[in-house]
Homo-oligomer: A and B are copies of this chain.
């Protein structure tokens, strides 16, 4: 089974990577871009029977820095 984890910087945390993308899009001529935030998308291919609780533990221990990042889990 598959789990998808979305990790984003929390609101209020400066996102220099997203800011760089916003600036680059502006330089390419794209207008009307108010903001860009960039995060991580992690696809886990897990053995059958894996639970969301296990994936949550992976997030807390490794995948996200919960001081500055929030995460969402989707089991598929």
Binding site for B on A (CB under 8 A): 6-8, 18, 21, 24-25, 28, 30-47, 49-50, 54, 57-58, 61-63
Contacts and interface: CB of A to CB of B under 8 A. Distances in A.
Residue among A6, A36, A50 with the highest chain B CB neighbour number at 10 A: A36
Q: 6 closest pairs, A vs B, by CB? A: A32-B47, A35-B45, A34-B45, A39-B41, A41-B41, A37-B43
A41 B43 contact: no
A45 B38 contact: no
A68 B74 CA distance: 25
Given A28-B61, A28-B62, A30-B54, A39 B36 contact: no
Given A58-B25, A62-B25, A41 B38 contact: yes
